[in-house]
Amino acid sequence: MNQQHRDERARIREAMDRLLTGQATASNGSLTIVALAAEADVHRMALLKRHVDLKNEFYERVRAETRQVPETEKRLRETVTKLKKTIANQRTEIEELRRQVTRLALASAVLTQEDDRQAGHALEPDNVVLFRPPKA
């Protein structure tokens, strides 16, 4: 680990402490990775790629010290709730459509049979050839 890497990690830890105590100096003070990166004066991707352990530590400290759920987790939970509701609505709609298809298929069969009777058609299709002619 080079000196620049160690300095970056130290700045991130100091930024964590400032954010968790509510003494942000370079960010809006929210308990997010974006605010942590701004507060530590590092690129956000540095937290997501090089310092994943510090990112995880930050979120653990947010939960433990502030008894809050991180903002990203709140948004994800809201999205999951909305998606579950959408799925339930779609399942209900699919079941109703299946019942409707069944009813329409039955109605079509009844109407076709009635139409054949009214037109005087035989119940056998025109393209069927009997092996033995019907007995008269």
pLDDT one-digit tens code per residue, 104-125: 999 999 988 887 777 765 555 6
Amino acid, single-letter form, for residue 12: I
Can you give the pTM of this predicted structure?
0.53
pLDDT digits (tens, 9 = 90+) for 21-40: 888 888 888 888 899 999 99
Over 80: is that where the pLDDT of 20 sits? yes
Q: Which residues contact 86 (CB under 8 A, 6 or more apart)?
A: none
pLDDT digits (tens, 9 = 90+) for 76-99: 999 999 999 999 999 999 999 999
Amino acid, single-letter form, for residue 37: A
